[in-house]
Amino acid sequence: DLHKEFEVLEWLRKNRFRQPELNIYMYMLLAITLLFALYTGFLLSCFRSDPSPAPVAHPKQA
């Protein structure tokens, strides 16, 4: 019942420390997402296959 001020204040006092747990989970999820994006970028940049240059004709072969 929200009309009983004492009960509302007591509930808020008991549950005021529950928010940091949610923040920890949100930060962990954000960190995992960021690490996944960085690792994917790292793999794409390291294992990129560069197109091989066109063979240059030697003057004696022409």
Say if pTM beats, i.e. exceeds, 0.85.
no
Report pLDDT for 33: 98
Average pLDDT over residues 35-57: 87
Sign of CA dihedral 12, 17, 18, 22: positive
Report pLDDT for 48: 81
| pLDDT at position 50 over 80 | no
Model confidence pLDDT, tens digit, residues 2-39: 789 999 999 888 877 766 677 888 999 999 999 999 99
Report pLDDT for 52: 74
**How many helices (DSSP H) and strands (DSSP E) are in the chain?**
2, 0
